[in-house]
Amino acid sequence: MVKVELKGVTKRFGDVIAAGDVSLQIEDGEFFTFLGPSGCGKTTTMRMIAGLEYPDEGGVFFDGEDVTNLPSFKRNTGMVFQNYALWPHMKVFENVAYGLRVRKVDGAEVEKRVDEALDLVHLGGLGDRFPSQLSGGQQQRVALARVMVINPSVLLLDEPLSNLDAKLRVEMREEIKDLQRKLGITTIYVTHDQEEAMAVSDRVAIQNHGVIRQVGTPSEIYSFPRDVFIATFIGRGAILEGAASLSDGRPRVDLGGFTVEGVDTVSAVGDGDRVACVMRPESFSVAEPGEPSNRLDGVVEWSSFIGPYREVKLNVGGTTLLVDVPPETETPVGGSLTVYIPVRMTIVLPWDEVK
C-alpha cells in the first residue's frame, strides 16, 4: 500500500487542458474519489497515476518515489477499466491469472491465488467460462478479481459501475467499499455520479476543466461548497444571485424581494459584492428552529409528494426556492407557507459564472 502524490501535474491534448496544475496527496489506505462532469479530466488524471498517460509538466510520486516516467507495467497499480477490458480470447481463470503469470508465479500458487480472488468476488467455480458468457455484473467482478490477485499497491477504478443497472450499481459499490476496507488498500475512484462518490469515499476531489476545485470529505463538500460550480454540481436547490452587505462581519444578502443572513464559509465576501446564496432544500423546516435563522414567507407554486418528504417550489418575493417539508404538511398550490433556514446553513459565496 502506498501514499500517492501529484505535484503540479498538467496534461494538455491540443488546446484542451485535461489536467491543470493538479497537486494533491492521497493517503495510504484511503478511498479517494475524483468527481466531475464528463470531460473534466478525471480519467486522464487517473491514467497518469496508472502510467497510461504521461504528464506534460509535474510529477507523480508513490511513497515519495518519483514514478512520473515509469511505464505502467512497472508501477504495480491495479486498474479496473470502465468497459472492464476483459480479454475475450481467454477464459475467466486465465484473465485473472494473467498478472501472476507475467510475474512468473509458479503454477500451483497461481491456481490457489486465482481461486481465492474469484471467491473474494463471489465468482468461485466460474473460471471455465469465457467473459462473453457472463453477465455485466459478473464481468465487473472478474475485472476486479483480475487486479486484486496481484496485490496492487494502488487500486484504480475508472467509472467501474457505469455499465451496470441501478440496483446492481448500489450493490457493487457497497461490495467494493467492503473489500477496500477489509484489505486496507489505497483506492482511487473516478466517477461522475455524486451519490456514488459520497457513498464510498473517504475524501472527494471535484474537478472541472482539468482543475481541482475542492478536496474534502463528502460532508464538507456537501455542506460547505467552496465555489458556485461545486454548489451547483453537488446537491439540489437553487443558487440565488444577490448583493451582499456586511454587518458585524456577517453577510446579509439582498435577493430582490427579500433578504437573508448567511455565513461566508470561504471568507472572501466583501461589502457590496455580488454573491451567490446557497440554500439546500433539506435545510428548511416549517417549525422555527432553536438557533439564529431566516424566516421566509412565500406562496406554493408547485408541490410534489416524493415519499420521505414533500418537495415544494415556493415563491418568496418573486424568487422561486426549492424547499423540502415533512410529507404530511398541507401545501395546496396557491396557498401560503412559512419556512425557516438556520443562518449557519445559508451559505454565501462570491458570485462566479459557471462555465
Partner 1 sequence: MGAKEIVRALRRELDAMTVIQLLIAYSILIVFLVIPLVLMVRAAFLYQGKFSFHWFIDILTSPEFISFSPRGGMLFEVRRGTMYIWGNDHGILLNSLIVAFSVTVLCSIIGVVAAMLMGRYRFPGKAVFRVLLLIPLLATPFVNAYVIGKLFSPRGGFINFLLVDTLNILPWRIDIDGLVGVILAQTLSFYPIVFLNVLASLNNIDPSVEEMAENLGAKGLRLFRTITFPLFRPGLAAGAIIVFIFSLEDLGAPVGFSGARGNPLARKLVSFQIFSSFAEALTGTFSPKIAALAVIILFLAVVGFLGVRRYVSRSRYTMLSKGGRWSPRLRTPSVMTRSLIIASLGFLVILASMPQIGTLLMATTNWATSGPVPTEGTTEYLATLTSNPDVSRAIVNSLIYSGAAVLIMVLVGSSVAYIVARRAIPGRSVLDILATIPVAVPGVALAVGYFFLFSSDFFRGSIIDPIVDPALLLIFAYSIRRLPFTVRSVSAGLSQVDKSLEESSLNLGANRPTTFFKIVLPLIIGHILGGAILSFVYSMSEVSTSVTLGALREDRVPITFFISQIVYGMAAVGSVSIGAALCMLLMAVQITAMAISNYVLKQKVAFLGV
When binding is defined by CB under 8 A, the residue of 14, 38, 89, 308 that contacts partner 1 is: 89
Residue 222 as a binder of partner 1 (CB under 8 A): the answer is no
Which lies closer to partner 1 via its Cβ, residue 118 or residue 147?
Answer: 147
Round to whole Å and give the CA distance between 77 and 2. 10
When binding is defined by CB under 8 A, the residue of 11, 113, 141, 146 that contacts partner 1 is: 146
Round to whole Å and give the CA distance between 57 and 8. 7
Residue 52 as a binder of partner 1 (CB under 8 A): the answer is yes
Residue 114 as a binder of partner 1 (CB under 8 A): the answer is no
Residue 77 as a binder of partner 1 (CB under 8 A): the answer is yes
Cβ 85 to partner 1 shortest distance, Å: 4
Which lies closer to partner 1 via its Cβ, residue 82 or residue 232?
Answer: 82
When binding is defined by CB under 8 A, the residue of 23, 72, 135, 336 that contacts partner 1 is: 72
**Chain centroid to CA 101:** 35
The neighbour count for residue 163, using CB atoms within 10 Å, is 15
Q: Which amino acid is it at 351?
A: W
Place of cell 458468457: 133
205 backbone φψ class: left, alpha, beta (φ>0; ψ -120 to 50):
beta
Total residues binding partner 1 (CB under 8 A) = 29
When binding is defined by CB under 8 A, the residue of 2, 126, 150, 341 that contacts partner 1 is: 150
Cβ 2 to partner 1 shortest distance, Å: 15
When binding is defined by CB under 8 A, the residue of 73, 166, 247, 334 that contacts partner 1 is: 73
- Among the listed ranges 37-45, 132-140, 145-153, 252-260, the one in contact with partner 1 (CB under 8 A) is 145-153
How far is the CA of 155 from the CAs of 46, 99, 152, 315, in angstroms? 11, 14, 6, 48
Closest Cα to residue 31, out of 196, 179, 157, 186? 186
- Among the listed ranges 31-39, 78-86, 165-173, 225-233, the one in contact with partner 1 (CB under 8 A) is 78-86
When binding is defined by CB under 8 A, the residue of 83, 135, 217, 304 that contacts partner 1 is: 83
Instruction: Check if the beta carbon of residue 186 is closer than 8 Å to that of residue 26.
Output: yes
Which lies closer to partner 1 via its Cβ, residue 89 or residue 182?
Answer: 89
Cβ 233 to partner 1 shortest distance, Å: 26
The helix or strand, by DSSP H or E, that contains position 179, with its residue range, turns out to be: helix 166-183
- Tell me whether strands 16-26 and 319-325 are parallel, antiparallel or unpaired: unpaired
Radius of gyration of the chain (CA): 24
Closest Cα to residue 189, out of 209, 166, 162? 162
Binding site for partner 1 (CB under 8 A): 50-52, 54, 56, 69, 71-79, 81-83, 85, 87-89, 98-99, 102-103, 146-147, 150
